[in-house]
Every structure is written in C-alpha cells, then in structure tokens.
A and B are shown apart, each in its own frame.
Chain A
Amino acid sequence: MTYRVGIDIGGTFTDLFAYNTKTGESICMSSPSTPENYANGVLNVIDKTGIPYEEIEIIIHGTTVATNAIIMGNYADTAFVTTAGMKDLVEIGRFHRKALYDPYQKKPNPIVKRHNRYTVRGRLDKKGEVLIPLNEEDVRGVAKEIKDKGIKAIAIGMMNSYTNGDHEQRAKKIIEEVYPEAYVVTSESILPSIGALGRFTTTIINAALYELVGTYIESLQNRLIERGFNKTLLLVQSNGGAITAELVKKKPETLLMSGPAGGVVGAIITGEKSSQKDIITFDMGGTSTDISIIEGGEPHMTTDFEIDWDMPVPIPIIEVLSIGAGGGSIAWIDSGGSLKVGPKSAGARPGPVCYGLGGKAPTVTDANLILGYLDAEAFLSGDMKLDLEGAKKAIAELGEQMGLDMYQTAKGILEIVNENMANAVKEITIGKGRDPRDFALSAFGGAGSLHAVGVSDKVGIPVVFVPPEPGNLCAYGDINMNLQNEISGFFYSNIKNIDLVAMNEKFAEMDGEGRQMIEAQNADCKKIVVKHMVSMRYVGQSYELEIPCPSALLTKADTDKLLVDFHETHKKIYFVCDEESDVEITKLRSTNIGVIMDPVQIQSEHAEARNVAIKKVKAYFDNKEMDTLVYDRKTLRPGEVVSGPAIVREAKASTVILPGKVCIVNEADNSLLIKNIEGGAR
C-alpha cells in the first residue's frame, strides 16, 4: 500500500493529487471531466498516472455529481408526504421573488411536482403534543398510490416534527410495510430543527439523490475493485470533512458543496506551512470565483445555503461566496455607457476571443493577454496558442465606444472585475466584522494567481500566497480530509438561568451520536476530536450568532465568557451591542472529527537551473509598458526572492507580481508569498 489519492471533479477537468507514502513523492494529473458518466473521468485520470490500483491505500473524492443533478433536474422521480393542508408549502417557499423588477421572471421547478405531493391527517403542536392523531388509513392509501405510480424515493415531512418524530416514523413504517421496495426518509431524521421549508427541502433532496448517488458510488466502487483497488473510498462533504462511500449513500445531501470544500481544506494545510492561520481563499476559474474565510485554521461554517432560489438546505457547510467573475467573464457596455464585466461568461467554448474558437466578445483573459500577463505562446505549457491580434481588435473596438484606447480598456476590464471580486471579499470580511488586514489571501484555480495581488491591494490584504500546484489544490485538499460530522441540537434557555448540567448532558448526547457515526464507518481513525458551538441572540431577535465554546465541559466561567464573546461579536459585526439586554441560547452544535492520517506535503519538482528568468517581456503596469521578467516556477528555489514587476509561470497558472511587490519562495513548501517591498511607498 503506497499511494493516497485525492480526486476532484470540476466543470472542465478532473484533477488528481497522489502521494507516495514510501518516497514522499507527489503526483499531479488532470484529465477532462466526463459529464455523461463522471466515474469515467475518475478512472481515466488514475490510469493516466500509471499508479497500480492495488498500490492505492485510500481514495478521497470530491464530486459535483449531487449539485449537478439538482441544478439540471436530473434525479429520480420523488414523492413527498406531508401534513394535511400543507401540500404546497415547499413550492410556495418564502413568497419572495429573485429579481425585484423583472416582469417575466419564473421560479425554479419544484423538485417534487405537485401531483407527487401527498397529504395525510395528523398534527403536532409546537411542544410535540398530539393535536390530531396520525391517520394511518390516510398513510396506507397514500403509500398504495405512490406504489402504483412506481415512485421509489419518498420523503416524509410533517409540521413541528422537529420536536417529536413519532408521526413521521410511524408513517415511514407503514409506507415500508405497504411498499418494501421504496426508500423512505423522514425529516426528523435528516434535520431535526425548526423551519419546515428547510427541513422538508433537505429531506426531499436526500430522497431525490438517493438512487443517483448510490448508483454512482456503487458503479465507481465496482470498477475500482475490478482494477484491483480494495481499500477505503471516501467522499468529500460540504462541511470540509470526509465520509465513507457506504454512509454517504444515506446522506447524499452532504455532497452538495463537495467541490469547493477541497480547495478550502487545501488552503488550510498549505497555509500552515507558511504560518498563515487566517486566510481568505480565492479560487478563480473560467466562469466563477469562490471565496471563503478561514480563521485560526478553521473554515467558516454557515447554515444559510440555498441550492436554488427559495430552496434552503440549512445543514452546516463551509460558507463559500461564489460570484460570476472568471477568466471567461465578458466585458460589455450598458445602455448608460458604463463598462461592465460579467456575470455572463464565454465559458470554455467558444471561450475568450484569444482562444480562436469563434468567441467574439472580449473577456478578462483577453485583457490579461493584451497587458502582457499571459503569454500567447506559453498558455497551458504551450498546448494552446492564443490569438493576440484577435484579442486586441475586440478590446480596441469596445474601448472606442467609451473613448478609451485599447490598453486603458484592458486595464479597465481588470480594474472592474477585480473590484467585483474585492466587493465579494469585503462582504465576507468587513461585512462580517473581520479586518482584511488580519488575513492572507490564498490564490488558486486557473486564474486566481493572475488577479490575487490586484484584488488584495483593493481590500488591503497584506500577503498573498500561491500554494504549489494551484491548479490541483482541491484534489490536494481532498487527500487531507478526515472523517467529520456535525450534530445540531435544540437547546433553548436564557443565559441567566442556564442549566449547566442539562446543557453538558445535551452536548454529551450529541457527541455520542457523532462518535458513533464515525466509529461505525470503520475507517481506522487515530483519534476523535470534538468541538462545540453555541447559537446565541438577544431575546427578541430571530437570527443567532454562533459562538465557539471555550471548553468541552462548560462551567459557569465558560458561560460568562460566552456572553462576553457574544456582545463583542455582535458589536464587531453589526456596530451595536447592548450589554443590558437579555441573551438566550437557541441551539448547540457538536463537530466530531475522526483523524485518519497526518497531512501530506506537496513536493514540487525542481529543475537544476535556478532563479534565471526564462524571458523578458513588455507588460503594462501603472499605465505604462515595463520590462518584465518571466520565471518558470520549477526553477525557483526555496528562499529565493523575485521583485516585481515579474511573472511566474507554471503549467496551469501564472502569478503576476506587481511593481513595488516582492515574491519570496517559502522555505517550508515552496509557496509563493507576495507582499509589499519593505519600506516601499505602495
């Protein structure tokens, strides 16, 4: 057993990162994604490395299979059984519309069509007490109808089931008796928390994805076994932790944000090597940019996730802000004469004008090429020649409409796309009470390191780091994941008269559930790490702030500390707080992490030559053309320093170092650290 393998399926490429546990050598590989059957892409990329399957000890795999299925409406027919009177609650949603002034807008199609939604009599109140007993005849009748239709995925969601799951469990039992072939899932088991819309939607997604995700995993597992792999297959969850292939079949909703999670974990681990614990991740690709926050080495979590308009999935996931800005984003002039960039993207086909595949609209990549940041001859290691003249023509034409020359226009395109991304960075830093000057920005994805320094300067982030293999960072993050689950529990109390014994008991109960889930996965964990969070708010408020517990077993001093931290956090985020007002606790969360292995390091290959520029080009900085040295990243040795203006190229990325900046190659892991020249005026 020699290799650990991480695989990330993206929109365009399936990326692999493998680590040889004997030699410490690492392998990066990419191969086109295969939307017709994503498993093909996974096997292709492993085949391409030549690693013998029987030598692989673990595969950890991030996938967009679940997300794509929901967005494309590509899932099994699903039925929904709910409380009488509430048939349309999940389709009505929260009333509001997406665009304020668009008279032609539509809402997304419901996951369960109206004719597949069924109701049964029976009602609980807010305390879980029975107002109307469950009508078992109704349930039987509904079960028969669903069986006759041949729908095999059935979600059950009833009002107030977060306080008492009896009705849902009983209904499940009856349906299973009538229809043993069906997969039946209850909302009280998936997400026992208040808010019927989120609880029901998550349960419906679980049912809708059950067959699809199960089939995908089984087929992948079988094909891996055929090739000789017989060890653990793990999947990456939206919370930044892994889960075994067996268990994820029952929890497919945890895969919804599986893709971006790998990058965040990759940034955490590469950050540690550069002594960065507070990081803004900046993953810029062709159509979008994903941004997230890491504080003290921990990703920021949220339960505010919606898979589509008005379809909340309030499970704890890594908070990722995704905006429509990427290399393919199109520049255009609106009817008021203002320059805009995105959110429309030229994608990979036809792509930017310079790809020469028929794209006519000028894009961010075209602007980068004109300004000399990309090399027409050396794009993707020279695999793709770029059409510089075509890009120049398109951008010059755009500029004419505003009275700007070609270079001003190209500069303006980057200025505006950087501003859009900077506003997103501000939204999750300043907008949440965080000072961007306390963070380093980790740039990855195909275009991240081209724009990272420009964006950081706008927001005031002092350090940018570009990890090794920025194009494969998600797969690298995947390989470093541990088993993880989040258990949430309802706990309601004013902090003044809190029952510490009851609260500690509740946490212990939740920890037990989480630990059991980890142990049941039989994945050889070295140890289990537990973290506790408490949701708090002023009495009268509706939204909570989540505050970390100072210790696992809470004392009076700890709850005093929680209260102080709550007021401080409130002041930091909302610019007001009131220490006189009552504060209450509403919810507890226990995170359980089953540590599998120590993190692996990326070993970069190095050529013999050192710190010699491979080329001198003309590039535009500060509105003038400057002589700019271009380096091959492979030739940069640890500890070496490169002064801007300069460009560092590698196979799947280019890093732009602006004038006044200096780039230091980190000793520990060869990350590029970019900051202001000491004492520089910039």
Chain B
Amino acid sequence: MTTPRIIDPITFEVVRSSFDYITKMMSQTLQKISFSPIMYDQVDFSNALFDNQARLVGQTTNVPVHLAAMHHCVHAAIEKFGDCIPEGDVVILNDPYSGGTHNMDVTFVMPLYYGGKLSAYACSRGHWQDLGGKAASSESPTAIHIAEEGLRLPPVKIYEGGKPVDAIIDIIRNNTRTPYFIDGDIRAHIGALNTAKKYFDELVDKYGAETVQDCMEETLNYTERRTRNAIKALPNGVYTAEDYIDADGINNEPIYVTMKLTIKEEDVIVDFTGSSPTVDGPVNYPPAGTCSGVYWGLKFFLDPEAPPNSGMYRPIEIIIPENTVFNPRWPAPVYYGNLITSEKVADLVWQCLEKAIPAQIVGMPYADCNPISFGMVNSREGESDTFGELAPGGWGGTPFGDGMNTTYSRHGNCMDFQPETMELLYPVICTEREFITDSGGAGKFRGGVGMKVSWKMLKDATLNLGMGRTRIGPPGVCGGKSGKPGYIVMDEGTEKEKIIGGYTKEGEYLMTMFDNYSMKKGQIVTQYTQGGGGWGDPGERNGEMIAEDLLNGFVSEDGLKRDYGLTNTAG
C-alpha cells in the first residue's frame, strides 16, 4: 500500500463521489439503449471504473455477483495485451477461464487516456440474451463441457483505433440465436464506455490528474478502513458451516460444500477446504466468481454503505483448493455456478455469521435467480426466438421483521420481464403471478413468501430450467424454520398435470436442472418459487402478525397448526 500525498477530506469526498456518479451515468446509457430485454428490462449488467493499475475504484450497484469478477476481467485483458492498450481500442471477453464468470456475461474494457497518459479503465458488463450453445438463452443445465455453453471469447479487440473490428462482430453474430440484438447491444456498451470517457475527462480537467490519481488511491484505503472497522465489531473466532447444492444437472445427488470463516481482529479468512471436487454438470464456479460471492455475502454485514471497490478485498483472505466445485479447470461447465453456487457461497458465509452474530443475522433467502427460458423454434421459416424470466422467491426473516416477499436475490437486483411486454414480443401468455400461501419459513419473524408464476405457450417451444433450493428449502436461523423448496409443474389443474422438477407427490426428488424439455402449443408451465427461511422461534410470533397473515392468506389455518403449533381461535 503506497501512501498518497495528503488530500484534504473535502476534495477527497467530492472526487470520490464522482467515481460513483460516472458509473451511474454509464449504466443509464446502457439500460436506455440496449436491445436485449435482459439488459433494458431486467437490468442484468454492471459498469465500473478502474485506476491505471486495474484496481476497482467505483462500480454501479446493480449486480453484486460482478463485484470482484469485473476486476478479474480487466486483469485478463491486460495480461493478454499488456498495460498499453492504445486509445480507441476496446477489448471484449467472456471466457470464464480468463476472467469471466459465465459465458453470457460479456465484458468490454476500454483504457481511458488523459493528456496521452493511461489514467484509468472503464469496464461495461452485460448479460446478453444468447450466445449459442446447446440450449436457448445459452442456458444448459445438462452441459458436461463448457463448449456446450456457447461462444467463449478470450480477450480480443472489438474496436481498434476507434473503428469496429467487423470480423469479430460477424463471428459473434453467427453464433447466437438472437443476431438482431448484437449490433444494438454492442452500441449500448460502447455508449456506456464513451459516457465514462466524457465524464472522466471532465473530472480530470477540473481537479488535475494528480489529485484524481491520489483520490483513486485514497478511495481504496477509505473502503479498506471502513471494512476493517466493521470486521473489528465482529467477535473473534472460527466459525464453520455446511450445506448442499441440490444436484449438478447430470447426477441426481446433493453436492457437499463447506466453509471455515475465521475472524481475527480486523481480518477475515475464508477457507473452502473440504468442499466437493469439481462436478460433471454446470454448477462449478471459477474463482473470480467464488471470490465475488464471499465479498458480497460479507458486505451485507460489513458496512454495506462503504463504496464498493477493491479496498474491500484487502482484509479478506480466501482459500479455494484447486479442482473443487469452487475452483474448476477447463473444460468443466460453469453456467449455473454464477447463480446457484454463487448464492451457496453467500449462504455459507451467512450460516457462519449466524454463529458469530446471531442477533444480527437473517434467514436464508430463496436461492439463485430461478432462471427459466424458452426457445421458440421454427427453423424452416428462418425464425428463432428465445426469452426467459428470473422469478424470485422470499427473503429470510430478520431480527426486526418478516422477510420480503418475492424479491430478487442477493447476487443481483434484476427486474422482471413485464408480462404485457413479454406477450407483445413473444408467443406466450403470462397467466399467473401470485404469492404462495405457507411458503415462508415459520419464525418469530417469518420468511417472505415465494410466488407461483405460469406461462402458456402459443407455439411449440423448448424449456430450460436451473433452479436451486428445491431439495432442501432455504434454512431458517436462530430457531426459525426453513422456507418451502421450489418446484415446477406442467399442465397444472388438468388431467395431464405433472411435476417435472422438485418433489413429486410420491416424494421422489426430480432435478430442477434440465434443458430442451419439449412443450407443445397450448401447454402451461408453472414455477413455484422458494420461501425465505424464518428467524427465531415460531412460538414467539405475535398474535397480531398471525391474524394479519391469516387475513391476507400468507399463512393458512393448516399452516398455522403445522408450522406454528397453533389453531386459530379468533376465526
């Protein structure tokens, strides 16, 4: 850690807040002009600013899962091209084995020069709709090789001297089910990078290159200080947790994961030793992502307001043995690592913290983002379409109140694909969006409820699903009960009704990771999302809250008896 010249605290605060402002403006551009619904409607992207040594100094806060991963991307670009990428060049990459997390997160890196000198990097990452591979939306939970997960771009120049490199763009366009999104999405990322360039230049014009560099250095120290202060407030100790990933999509067996979290004064050591080896299916998670999971999992309890930058990484040491599910090698498939395994990392962190700070911890939220996607295939007519949804479940109960109902999980903060827009654009009817009674884990403060969400296909389609927490529901804490696991049903309410993932009526567990499930025109599929885990002894729940739950159908009479050991005397 170099010690910068002394900056007065006022200038520092002013320049530091500009780093956040610049990335906020980048995100505004990306969202407003992109073509992929998953970017403009569901907001699955992040934008960041790095100093000239490729250290993260500012990031927009849409998607925590990108917290450390963006950092690895910039490093991968520099490793390939050296730290003298010329002005006007832009590098694109998505390779999970070279700084990426999963193929669908496409990252653009552009150096920012001021007065001919490399001063910073701007970085824009978005989840694209489709990059080929075995299944629509490139979501294949049955992949056994990363080649099945779509086009894998190593760090490569997509702009040179301010001009697009058509050869690369042509290759990308040829390797997607949605070529019509490509030009608009590239334009949106370039717009975001240009936005960063414009505001960064203005900042340096105003405060001078040296002051801005000093403030970049100091902003890392500043976040480090705040993070260390927060760690100091936790009790020293060694805390362990164990959990299971439901299955890997290939083998219907739970996958053991474990963490040892050590708090020592103002440092944290997180050790994944003992977790399962790399598995056959795509729930492996490259280390860039695993580290992100640790950082954002901790951030909920370590000064959430501190500006997100690489100063936060400094007091946190992470040990991930090679060839485990948290540190795979090529060619292991990885797509759902970024979702299911990422959330599992945070669950492990939180379950360790339950032992350290029981009065502050909250129940586990529903799981990953429950991605479901549909492919509309009509190759004879030269049409192909793919779209999906990320239906959330409930959050865990907290020491202060019930968990949020049906709200996007920790690793991201995506929005819905609005039903009327989905119907306008795709051959589908959105038939249901309702809370599930009794799905929240019981507790003094119960978990939030999940939802039931259904789609009716107006054309033949294929269905892909990658849900976690369908075998074991989201655990409660401090005596709270688990939330209800998720499941998925075809043709509900008809004679052909069939559970196709999760526990069947007979109690058999079917994996909720599959792809290319055939749906015929007119069929309806219904996803039941998970409830959050409860907090505290259900017996201590107050009577008014119970009455309100019954009135609004969040808890049924049966549920009250089963989960709370009570009968409704009022009604």
Show the binding face of A for B, using Cβ within 8 Å: 85-89, 91-92, 94-97, 99-107, 113-115, 123, 125-126, 131, 159-160, 162, 194-197, 334-340, 402, 404, 411-412, 415-416, 419-420, 423, 426-427, 430-431, 538, 540-543, 570, 573-576, 578, 581
With a cutoff of 8 Å between Cβ atoms, the chain A residues found around residue B423 in the complex are 125-126, 159-160
Whether the pair A540, B419 counts as a contact (CB closer than 8 A) is no
- A34 smallest CB distance to B (angstroms): 33
In the A-B complex, the 3 residue pairs with the closest CB atoms: A101-B304, A575-B194, A85-B432
Contact of B180 among A197, A426, A540, A576 (CB under 8 A): A540
Whether the pair A88, B435 counts as a contact (CB closer than 8 A) is yes
Q: How far is the CA of A106 from the CA of B403 in the complex (A)?
A: 7
Known: A97-B404, A335-B230, A538-B184. A103 touches B301 (CB 8 A): yes
B300 adjacent to chain A (CB < 8 Å)? yes
Whether the pair A113, B552 counts as a contact (CB closer than 8 A) is yes
Contact of A94 among B61, B64, B416, B424 (CB under 8 A): B416
From B219-227, B263-271, B509-517, the one touching the partner chain is B219-227
Contact of A540 among B35, B195, B431 (CB under 8 A): B35
From B21-29, B101-109, B336-344, the one touching the partner chain is B21-29
**Residue of A at shortest CB range from B181?**
A540
B400 adjacent to chain A (CB < 8 Å)? yes
Number of A-B contacts (CB under 8 A): 204
With a cutoff of 8 Å between Cβ atoms, the chain A residues found around residue B18 in the complex are 423
- A543 smallest CB distance to B (angstroms): 4
Which B residues, 25 to 72, have Cβ-Cβ distances below 8 Å to chain A?
A: 25, 28-29, 31-35, 37, 40-41, 43, 61, 64
Q: How far is the CA of A162 from the CA of B420 in the complex (A)?
A: 10
- A434 smallest CB distance to B (angstroms): 13
Contact of B406 among A85, A92, A430 (CB under 8 A): A92
Whether the pair B414, A106 counts as a contact (CB closer than 8 A) is no
**Residue of A at shortest CB range from B296?**
A101
Known: A101-B304, A114-B435, A114-B553. A95 touches B414 (CB 8 A): yes
Q: How far is the CA of A677 from the CA of B115 in the complex (A)?
A: 31
Q: Which of B32, B43, B229, B390 has the most CB of A within 10 A?
A: B32
Whether the pair B418, A338 counts as a contact (CB closer than 8 A) is no
Contact of A106 among B16, B180, B404, B433 (CB under 8 A): B404
**Residue of B at shortest CB range from A105?**
B404
Whether the pair B25, A431 counts as a contact (CB closer than 8 A) is yes
From B7-15, B92-100, B146-154, B375-383, the one touching the partner chain is B7-15
**Residue of A at shortest CB range from B233?**
A335
- A39 smallest CB distance to B (angstroms): 34
- A84 smallest CB distance to B (angstroms): 8
Whether the pair B406, A95 counts as a contact (CB closer than 8 A) is yes
Contact of A541 among B28, B40, B434, B435 (CB under 8 A): B40
Whether the pair B303, A540 counts as a contact (CB closer than 8 A) is no
Whether the pair B181, A95 counts as a contact (CB closer than 8 A) is no
B299 adjacent to chain A (CB < 8 Å)? yes
| B interface bracket (residues with beta carbon within 8 Å of A) | 35 or more
25 pairs from A and B in contact (CB 8 Å cutoff): A85-B432, A86-B433, A88-B433, A92-B451, A95-B415, A96-B407, A101-B64, A103-B396, A104-B401, A107-B404, A126-B424, A131-B429, A159-B423, A194-B424, A195-B420, A196-B419, A338-B12, A416-B14, A423-B21, A426-B21, A543-B40, A570-B33, A574-B195, A575-B195, A581-B183
With a cutoff of 8 Å between Cβ atoms, the chain B residues found around residue A114 in the complex are 435, 552-554
- B227 smallest CB distance to A (angstroms): 9
Whether the pair A99, B304 counts as a contact (CB closer than 8 A) is yes
With a cutoff of 8 Å between Cβ atoms, the chain B residues found around residue A336 in the complex are 222-223, 225-226, 229, 306
- B407 smallest CB distance to A (angstroms): 5
Q: How far is the CA of A334 from the CA of B305 in the complex (A)?
A: 10
Known: A96-B413, A540-B181, A576-B194. A88 touches B187 (CB 8 A): no
With A336-B306, A420-B17, A576-B191 already in contact, 7 other A-B pairs whose C-beta atoms are closer than 8 Å: A88-B451, A97-B413, A107-B405, A338-B12, A339-B10, A416-B14, A423-B18
Q: How far is the CA of A97 from the CA of B64 in the complex (A)?
A: 13
Q: Which of B41, B390, B392, B432 has the most CB of A within 10 A?
A: B432
Contact of A576 among B187, B419, B431 (CB under 8 A): B187
Which B residues, 281 to 306, have Cβ-Cβ distances below 8 Å to chain A?
A: 296, 299-301, 303-306
Q: How far is the CA of A412 from the CA of B10 in the complex (A)?
A: 6
B551 adjacent to chain A (CB < 8 Å)? yes
With a cutoff of 8 Å between Cβ atoms, the chain B residues found around residue A195 in the complex are 418, 420-421
Whether the pair B184, A196 counts as a contact (CB closer than 8 A) is no
- A583 smallest CB distance to B (angstroms): 12
B145 adjacent to chain A (CB < 8 Å)? no
0/1 string, B185-215, CB within 8 A of A gives 1: 0011011001100110010000000000000
Contact of A96 among B43, B195, B199, B432 (CB under 8 A): B43
Q: How far is the CA of A402 from the CA of B6 in the complex (A)?
A: 13
Whether the pair B25, A541 counts as a contact (CB closer than 8 A) is no
Whether the pair A88, B434 counts as a contact (CB closer than 8 A) is yes
Q: How far is the CA of A86 from the CA of B431 in the complex (A)?
A: 7
Q: How far is the CA of A574 from the CA of B192 in the complex (A)?
A: 8
With a cutoff of 8 Å between Cβ atoms, the chain B residues found around residue A113 in the complex are 552
With a cutoff of 8 Å between Cβ atoms, the chain B residues found around residue A576 in the complex are 33, 187-188, 190-191, 194
Whether the pair A96, B414 counts as a contact (CB closer than 8 A) is yes
Whether the pair B230, A101 counts as a contact (CB closer than 8 A) is no
Whether the pair B434, A104 counts as a contact (CB closer than 8 A) is no
Whether the pair B229, A335 counts as a contact (CB closer than 8 A) is yes
With a cutoff of 8 Å between Cβ atoms, the chain A residues found around residue B21 in the complex are 423, 426-427
With a cutoff of 8 Å between Cβ atoms, the chain B residues found around residue A573 in the complex are 29, 32
Whether the pair B431, A85 counts as a contact (CB closer than 8 A) is yes
With a cutoff of 8 Å between Cβ atoms, the chain B residues found around residue A101 in the complex are 64, 296, 299-300, 304-305
Known: A85-B454, A88-B451, A338-B12. A103 touches B300 (CB 8 A): yes
B398 adjacent to chain A (CB < 8 Å)? yes
- A620 smallest CB distance to B (angstroms): 14
- A185 smallest CB distance to B (angstroms): 19
Whether the pair B418, A574 counts as a contact (CB closer than 8 A) is no
Contact of A125 among B28, B301, B390, B429 (CB under 8 A): B429
B362 adjacent to chain A (CB < 8 Å)? yes
Whether the pair A95, B408 counts as a contact (CB closer than 8 A) is yes
With a cutoff of 8 Å between Cβ atoms, the chain B residues found around residue A106 in the complex are 401, 404
Q: How far is the CA of A215 from the CA of B487 in the complex (A)?
A: 49
Whether the pair B222, A338 counts as a contact (CB closer than 8 A) is yes
Q: How far is the CA of A107 from the CA of B301 in the complex (A)?
A: 20
Whether the pair B14, A415 counts as a contact (CB closer than 8 A) is yes
Whether the pair B362, A104 counts as a contact (CB closer than 8 A) is yes
Q: How far is the CA of A160 from the CA of B431 in the complex (A)?
A: 12
Known: A96-B408, A338-B9, A340-B13. A104 touches B398 (CB 8 A): yes
Whether the pair B407, A107 counts as a contact (CB closer than 8 A) is yes
Q: How far is the CA of A114 from the CA of B551 in the complex (A)?
A: 8
- A585 smallest CB distance to B (angstroms): 15
- A319 smallest CB distance to B (angstroms): 14
Contact of B10 among A123, A162, A416 (CB under 8 A): A416
- A90 smallest CB distance to B (angstroms): 10
Q: How far is the CA of A114 from the CA of B64 in the complex (A)?
A: 31
Contact of B9 among A95, A194, A196, A404 (CB under 8 A): A404
- A588 smallest CB distance to B (angstroms): 18
**Residue of B at shortest CB range from A492?**
B424
Q: How far is the CA of A581 from the CA of B230 in the complex (A)?
A: 51
Whether the pair B9, A402 counts as a contact (CB closer than 8 A) is yes
Q: How far is the CA of A87 from the CA of B390 in the complex (A)?
A: 19
- B135 smallest CB distance to A (angstroms): 23
**Residue of B at shortest CB range from A538?**
B184
